[in-house]
Amino acid sequence: MRIDHVIYGTSDLDAAQALVERELGLEVQPGGHHVGQGTGNRIVPLGNAYLELLTVDDPAEAAASPVGSLLAELIAEGDRLLAYAVSVDDVHATAQRLGTPIVTVRRGELEGHLTGVEEALRTSYLPFFGRSRGRPAEQGDATLDWIEVSGDGARLRAWLDGAELPIRITDGPGAVRAIGIAGKTFSG
């Protein structure tokens, strides 16, 4: 189990890209459209994970999808770190343990099977879990060093089934507060 990626939700991909380039000095690469979700992205590849800049690019398609409509709602509240994903070897076993459905997300040749997505988006400090066929390349010297969340630490540890990940837990309402990348703090 490892942190796979962090999602920064935005209503404007160009502005989010400029923010990441200015604050982190990292290159943002083109992404694409998530079929059936009504969302689109750009990717910031890191040596051990990636930062995903995510927007709603087809409101009608997003409205017809439980995940897409929830993302549209959250992004409408303002640009921010929304969620994070943890890679697991067996997404079906994780879904069974959590009692959560599996969602398939496709973008071009990339395909991910995810579970716990709606719970993670509603709760923020809990990650969702996934297994992907193909993924953005892990490249460069910059790495994701840590994630800071606020929320219920005991619930997070149970959700992660006791796995030790570089997650800092603080008091406060459920949220992804900040991430550390290559010695810099990014909170959007």
β-strand 167-170 against 175-181: which pairing, if any?
Answer: unpaired
User: What pLDDT does residue 13 have?
Assistant: 97
What pLDDT, in 10s, does the model give residues 120-145? 999 989 999 997 655 555 666 799 99
CA atoms within 13 A on the CB side of 12: 8
**What kind of architecture, by CATH, is found in domain 2-141?**
Roll (3.10)
**Distance of alpha carbon 49 from alpha carbon 168, whole angstroms:** 17
User: What pLDDT does residue 69 have?
Assistant: 94
**Distance of alpha carbon 58 from alpha carbon 72, whole angstroms:** 10
Q: Of 109, 136, 129, nearest to 54 (Cα)?
A: 136
**Domain residue ranges of the chain, discontinuous segments joined by +:** 2-141
What pLDDT, in 10s, does the model give residues 41-78? 999 999 899 999 999 999 999 999 998 999 999 999 99
**Distance of alpha carbon 20 from alpha carbon 39, whole angstroms:** 19
**Distance of alpha carbon 95 from alpha carbon 11, whole angstroms:** 30
**Distance of alpha carbon 160 from alpha carbon 145, whole angstroms:** 18
Q: Are 35 and 106 in contact (CB under 8 A)?
A: yes
Q: Of all residues in the chain, what percent carry a pLDDT higher than 90?
A: 81
- Arithmetic mean of pLDDT, 149-176: 95
Q: Of 152, 128, 6, nearest to 67 (Cα)?
A: 128
What pLDDT, in 10s, does the model give residues 69-104? 999 999 999 999 999 999 999 999 999 999 999 988
Average pLDDT, the chain: 92
- Arithmetic mean of pLDDT, 142-158: 96
- Arithmetic mean of pLDDT, 116-123: 92
